[in-house]
Amino acid sequence: MLNLGKLSRYDAKLMIEIARDSRSVALSTARDSASMRILAIVTILFLPATFTATFFSMTFFNFLDADSPKASPWIWIYVAATGLLTVIIQGIWAFMSHRSQAKPISDSQSDFKVMQNENLSLSASSGL
């Protein structure tokens, strides 16, 4: 019976070490996620302008006359389309980002919290 108690304490110690390692991995993943979010924001800022410039083929400027280069009077369409697309894409991204962060805790996460509390009470009672 004494051997079973030692084995149980050893198993509890191992589980606590595994939980600490898992926490470390989770923190690293969160840092990577933050980097990817910044990359997504930069992409969202430049994508609409790139798309509209390609779509309109940039025929808004006339550089053939070296003395007086001219911009087309229709350049406002490019500015308006780019601004509108940027606002729409950022709005969709903000909505999707907010929605994904507002998800409730799943059953597996609540089970983990219960197990963590049981581990703490076990280690306190066994003197680990």
The pLDDT tens digits of the residues spanning 31-64 come to: 788 788 888 888 888 888 888 778 777 677 777 7
> For position 77, what pLDDT does the model report?
87
pLDDT at 15: 92
Give the predicted TM-score (pTM) of the model. 0.48
Report for 4-18, 34-48, 94-108: range of highest mean pLDDT = 4-18
Confidence of residue 128 (pLDDT cuts 50, 70, 90): very low
Q: What is the DSSP code (8-state) at residue 67? A: S
Query: Exposed/middle/buried for 52, CB within 10 Å: 0-12, 13-18, 19+?
Result: buried
The number of beta carbons lying within 10 Å of the beta carbon of residue 60 is: 17
- Long-range contacts (CB closer than 8 Å, 24 or more residues apart) made by 91-100: 93/40, 93/41, 93/44, 97/37
Contacts 24+ apart (CB under 8 A), 34-40: 37/97, 40/93
Say how far apart CA 97 and CA 105 lie, in whole Å: 17
Are the C-beta atoms of residues 52 and 85 closer than 8 Å to each other?
A: yes
> Tens digits of per-residue pLDDT, 15-24?
999 998 898 8
pLDDT of residue 116: 59
Lowest-pLDDT choice from 7-11, 46-50, 103-107? 103-107
